[in-house]
Amino acid sequence: MSIMKPMSLATALLLSLSAGTFAATPALDDIPDNAGYTTALITIPQPDPYQMVFQQQHLPPNNNEPGFQWPDQNKSAIEEDYILTGNAATFLKISAAQSSDLADGTGKCKLSPRTKYLTTAMPGFEGEHMTVTLKKPLPGCALTKGYVYMDHFAATSAGGAWQLPKNVRAFLDTLAYAEGTGRKYNYIFTFVTFKSYADHPRKTICHGDLCSTAAGRYQYLSRTWDTLAQDLGLTDFTPPNQDRAVMEIIRRAGAYNEVANSSDYKNFEKALATLNGIWASLPGSPYGQPTYSTEALWEQYTAFLAKYQ
């Protein structure tokens, strides 16, 4: 039986697949309902239970390929927990609401750009936000703990993508662009979102006759995630762990050296060709789904890389 790869979120809106009947197709009652999740952009149609196709994902076997050596994440090796803001001012908020809906001083407090704020523990993660408790109160602010928008921060003591070399970060940005997730770590197949990172959402979503559990920035199927989590000792689905897992896939596929040197077009092209059997949105993928051209992704890559120079 041929292996289908996880469809990118962008592809999900463009493609509606049909296929032959599965030998053992579960009843609709076996598919979890959508309670607790939100659908951002589309209404998901009711699938035909006799035509449903469930995506599968090939995970390269563990091997001795080289990969990125992550810094020691042992808590004792971290001198102090912190969050580091990016190039724009942002806010500490009393809730995950829009900052424009919150009152200054009591509902939100301004955080300066390019500033390191010490925290009492590593940040937590919830949806598109981190949850933090500052060691020191902010001037004129009634808040010491609250929510900060994840995308506004350059680094945290929780680790993750910011620790990677700039070429690798730009490549992951490009992969996420192709998969339609951008900088969002809380997407499920078809733009459904989740809040809790305690575990892979394990939510089966169908679009047309295609059903998938793909979730996270890099669209892991639940089975793929379970193998990676066990092999790497990952205890949750938080963004830093998603970043660790995608680097493990790249390592196992034997593509790390090309990704690490992807600012050279030939290496970039070779990396895409090595990984297009895992992510169906990449050029040359054999799964019959819409793909991006190498040239289009190179244009995105160079723009992403420029941010890290």
Q: Which domain holds residue 96?
A: 79-156
Q: Could you give the number of structural domains in the chain? A: 2
For residue 184, being part of any structural domain is answered with yes
- CATH number for the domain spanning 270: value is 1.10.530.10
Q: Do 140 and 51 sit in the same domain of this protein?
A: no
- Tell me, yes or no, whether 171 and 45 share the same domain: yes
pLDDT tens for each residue of 245-294: 999 999 999 999 999 999 999 999 999 999 998 888 899 988 767 899 99
Same domain, yes or no: 179 and 201: yes
Residue 42 and residue 121 in one domain? no
Known catalytic residues? 179
DSSP string computed for the chain: -PPPPPPPHHHHHH-----PPPSSPPPGGGS---TT-EESS-PPPPPPTTT-EE-----PPP-------PPP--GGG-S-EEEEE-SS-EEEESSSS-GGGS-BTTTEEEE-TT-EEEESS--EEETTEEEEEBSSPPTT-S-SEEEEEGGGEEEETT-SGGGS-HHHHHHHHHHHHHHT-TT-S-EEGGGEE--B-SS-----EEETTEEE--BTTTTB-HHHHHHHHHHHT--S--HHHHHHHHHHHHHHTT-HHHHHTTTSHHHHHHHHHHHTTT-TTSTT-TTSS----HHHHHHHHHHHHHHT-
Tell me: do 299 and 253 sit in the same domain: yes
pLDDT, tens only, 219-254: 999 999 999 999 999 999 999 999 999 999 999 999
If asked whether residues 116 and 233 sit together in one domain, one would say: no
290 domain-assigned: yes
- pLDDT the model gives residue 3: 37
Q: Looking at the domain assignment, is residue 109 inside a domain?
A: yes
**pTM score, whole prediction:** 0.83
Same-domain check for residues 109 and 174: no
Residues 244 and 278 in one domain: yes
Say yes or no: 278 and 255 in one domain.
Answer: yes
**91 and 231: one domain?**
no
Domain assignment present for residue 24? The answer is no
